[in-house]
Amino acid sequence: QTALLDQEGRKEYLSSHYGFPCDCPCCILQGEEKIRDDKLRREILQLEKQIERLLYDFPQSDHDNSIDDYSSNDEECEETGKICKNSQGNFLKAGKENCDSINWNLEEIPEDPEDCVKLGLELAFKRLDLMELVGIKALCKIRLCLLIHETALEWDL
């Protein structure tokens, strides 16, 4: 989870736990690049929460049928953490070409458990794309791929 902290959090963690300031390419970003990188890392964390809820915590009532509790309250990134669909109603995977221009729309969690799992898997692929964009290490991405694979097998998808 350290890799998903913002730049200041990562630098503080490494300095306090390992005694050195990080000077990796992500920790020396400045200006708009730094803001974008920090926002993507927050989005990856929010997606993790949404995926977990969709895959393991199916809605029990109408009150539980919203993901509002999992959306970011950070004004700087009010769009972060919301499930996104394009104008045709298809879920987007944030690649390099559309990462900055996603139009986020809050969606209801499906009532059908299989639909929850399918949406969770779509968001897992989106999370994987974002992890690649910010340079998250391969082991973390492999763990996510394993989750996708095991879930798809379990649900015969």
Q: Give me the amino acid identity at 145.
A: C
What is the rounded average pLDDT of the residues 31-57?
Answer: 94
The pLDDT confidence band at residue 59, using thresholds 50, 70 and 90, is low
Q: Give the single-character DSSP code of 70.
A: G
Segment holding 25, helix H or strand E: none
Mean pLDDT of the chain: 76
CB count, 10 Å around CB of 9? 13
b/e map 75-99, b = 16+ CB within 10 Å: eebebbbbbbbeeeeebbbbeeeeb
CB count, 10 Å around CB of 49? 14
- Token pair 């791929």 is found at 145
Read off the pLDDT of residues 85-124 as tens digits, 9 standing for 90 and up.
444 444 443 333 344 433 333 357 788 999 999 999 999 9
- List the beta bridge partners of residue 108: 66
Segment holding 39, helix H or strand E: helix 31-56
pLDDT > 70: what percent of the chain? 68
Highest-pLDDT range among 4-8, 14-18, 121-125: 121-125
Side-chain half-sphere exposure of 25, counting CA atoms within 13 A: 5
d(CA 93, CA 75): 23
Least confident window among 61-65, 67-71, 100-104? 100-104
What is residue 60's predicted lDDT score, i.e. its pLDDT?
62
